[in-house]
A = this chain, B = another copy of it.
Amino acid sequence: MDIDSYKKHQKILVAVDCIIFGFDGSELKALLIKRGFEPEKGRWSLMGGFIRENESAEKAAIRILYKLTGMKDIYMEQLHSFSDVDRDTADRVISIAYFALINIKDYSEQLQLEHEAKWFHLSKIPPLIFDHKQMLKKAQKMLQEKVATHPIGFELLPEKFTLPQLQSLYEAIYEMPLDKRNFKRKILSLNILNKLNEKEKESSRKGAFYYVFDEVKYEKLQSANGVKWY
């Protein structure tokens, strides 16, 4: 802190913006909304809101995610704070960006209509307001880095998932094809998945076995070894 007293200093509007990723089974998408107020009303934007007097940024992000998705306990992480003086055209606003991962199928059509929200494939993002494109790019990069060392990919899938589904998620995140034999070996060697005696039969005739993420096994690994994953 400066040696000046607090009083002298300018207070600033602080907002939270959320980069929400979802996976529809084959493509990685981001949830955007049509902005409902000026400035830039009607243009595509990340979901956001101002931080209130009595809440932390985390709380604000949770509140905003809940408002848009109706979901609680969403996986969420702080990304970066954006503070360029002219980033918002209406007033000086500092934005703390969060990225969140949800299972796209849990997201209600209802809320999508209410908020004029839409899922966009990452390669087909429309022009966004302010510095939101930059936020999205940074979030995508963070997702790639994070998923390589932490088991967060499961947040984007239903509780039960097949290895082909998990693999195509990773392929979507990394934007490259993976070898299924190597993928399976690597992912199973972590010992954090449990195979179910049940098959998913929608997407193939043969059917693929379901797996579930075993949080308990993972926590044990965490405490035993270092932190590396995948």
Given A6-B13, A12-B51, A81-B81, answer yes or no on A1-B37 (Cβ-Cβ < 8 Å).
yes
Q: Is the CB of A83 within 8 A of B54?
A: no
A55 CB within 8 Å of chain B? yes
Q: How far is the CA of A75 from the CA of B55 in the complex (A)?
A: 32
Please state if A85 and B9 are interface contacts (CB–CB under 8 Å): no
A52 within 8 A of B: yes
Nearest Cβ distance between residue A79 and chain B, in whole angstroms?
10
- By a CB distance below 8 angstroms, the chain B residues around A56 are 83-85
List residues of A (136-163) whose CB comes within 8 Å of B's CBs: none
Taking the nearest CB of chain B, how far is it from the CB of A173, in angstroms?
15
Any chain B CB within 8 A of the CB of A36? yes
Q: In the assembly, what is the distance between CA of A10 and CA of B51, in Å?
A: 8
Given A50-B2, A53-B92, A78-B80, check contact A13 B11 (CB 8 Å): yes
Q: Are A3 and B85 in contact (CB under 8 A)?
A: no
Query: Is the contact region of chain A dominated by helix, strand, or loop, or is it mixed?
Result: loop
**Contact residues in B for A10 (Cβ distance below 8 Å):** 50-53
Residues of B contacting A1 in the complex (Cβ-Cβ under 8 angstroms): 15, 35, 37, 45, 48-50
Q: Which residues of B contact A4 (CB under 8 A)?
A: 37, 50
- Known interface pairs A37-B1, A85-B56. Does A14 touch B50 (Cβ–Cβ under 8 Å)? no
Please state if B5 and A37 are interface contacts (CB–CB under 8 Å): yes
The smallest C-beta distance from A83 to any residue of chain B, in angstroms, reads 4
Task: Please list the 6 inter-chain residue pairs (A to B) with the smallest Cβ-Cβ separation, ordered nearest first.
Answer: A11-B11, A57-B83, A9-B50, A2-B49, A56-B83, A3-B36
Selected A-B contacts with CB under 8 Å, 18 pairs: A1-B35, A1-B45, A2-B48, A2-B49, A2-B50, A3-B37, A6-B91, A6-B93, A10-B52, A12-B12, A14-B14, A51-B83, A53-B85, A56-B85, A57-B94, A78-B81, A81-B96, A83-B96
